[in-house]
Amino acid sequence: MGHNLQISKLLNLFVRPNGKVAGNTSPDVWHDTKNGAEQSAIVGIVGAKGGVGASTLAFNLTVALSDFASQVTLVDADFQQPALSILTAHDPVYTIADLFSKGNHIEANVFEACTYRLEGLKNSPRFLTPPSDGDGAFALDSGSLPDLLTQISTFSPLWLIDLPKEIDRHLVELLDLCSEIILVMEPDLTSVAAARRWLNHFEDLGYDPAQVLMVINRSGGRLREVESQLSGNFPRWTLLSVPNAYEALQQCCLSGKPLVLERPNHPYTKAVRALASLMKERNHARAVKTPVQQ
């Protein structure tokens, strides 16, 4: 009875005002503006709980995915505790707040001015952040972010959204835009329990397990017995492990450079690039199954 009550409350809270059904409106193709495709893909990344390394993974994965898409854009959607500007050691002059101020008329050059790139990287992704001081939590309307992303989606063929971890109606509206959801967890009991709750929510909201990738971050640690049982505990979901690289990632944070560039032969780098390659294959399979309508 308790579980049914939880589902009822969840679904009542997350009624889509626009009548959308999860997974049915998200784009399927990482289009390149040169080949005439009309839709962009949006990938949501969320930590099962705080401190599992989801933002760091999002940063490194975005850079790895730039090998497969002509333009990749990473959006930090956590207005209260933004992490991207810290990870990139960059304090942007213009932020997502400036895009909100433009209303419904955002031109490509304005969008470009509100993003920034990694210096010295030829095909650098673009990064879009809220104000780094956290003022975005008070000044910006998180409920308007899905509409903003829809409006600017044509400016990039592939988007990654570093999602906040508070489950509410606004988060669900963001998730509804995603063609893929990456749930990041650690191989410990509290993270496993948190991941189970997220997966229950995903199922209650109608998301297809084929839309979800589970990433076991910081694998290979002391709780290997727990880690060895994860595939049996999540049989319907695709799991990929990323090894622990805490010290190396801390050093990269000081320089604002991603580990996937700084140490190309590191096991973490290889795992993240394998994740990027798997995402490309999964996206191609979805594109073949549901071709873009011309």
Mean pLDDT confidence for 273-294: 80
Residue 87 forms part of a structural domain: yes
To the nearest 10°, report the CA torsion of 276, 115, 178, 141: 150
* Percent share of the chain, pLDDT over 90: 60
Question: Is 11 a domain residue?
Answer: no
Note the pLDDT of residue 288: 77
- Out of 10-24, 187-201, 239-253, 257-271, pick the least confident: 10-24
Mean pLDDT of 177-205: 94
pLDDT at position 139 over 90: no
Mean pLDDT over each residue of the chain, to the nearest integer: 84
Q: What is the mean pLDDT of residues 255-283?
A: 95
Residue 12 lies in a domain: no
The count of structural domains within the chain is 1
Q: Determine the average pLDDT of the residues in 73-92.
A: 92
Checking if the pLDDT of 13 tops 60, the result is no
Q: With a cut of 90, say whether residue 19 has pLDDT above it.
A: no
Q: Report pLDDT for 291.
A: 55
Domain membership flag for residue 167: yes
Residue 74 located in a structural domain? yes
Of 172 and 70, the structure prediction assigns the larger pLDDT to 172
Which residues span the domain enclosing 67?
23-289
Tell me the pLDDT tens digit for each residue of 217-268: 999 877 677 778 887 888 889 999 999 999 999 999 999 999 999 999 999 9
Distances (CA, A) of 226 to 14, 125, 221, 241: 33, 36, 10, 13
pLDDT at 31 over 60: no
**How confident is residue 141, by pLDDT bands cut at 50, 70 and 90?**
confident
| Phi, psi angle pair for 231, to nearest 5° | -60, -35
Residue 253 domain-assigned (yes or no): yes
Residue 294 clears pLDDT 90, i.e. is over it: no
In a domain, 210, yes or no: yes
Residue 207 in any domain: the answer is yes
Residue of 131, 133, 139 whose CA lies nearest to 114: 131
Q: Enter the pTM of the model.
A: 0.86
Of 136, 41, 120, which Cα lies nearest the Cα of 84? 136
Q: Could you give the C-alpha distances from 152 to 19, 22, 71, 110, 117, in angstroms and in order?
A: 22, 21, 13, 11, 17
**What CATH number should be reported for the domain holding residue 140?**
3.40.50.300
Range in 1-10, 69-78, 193-202 with the lowest mean pLDDT: 1-10
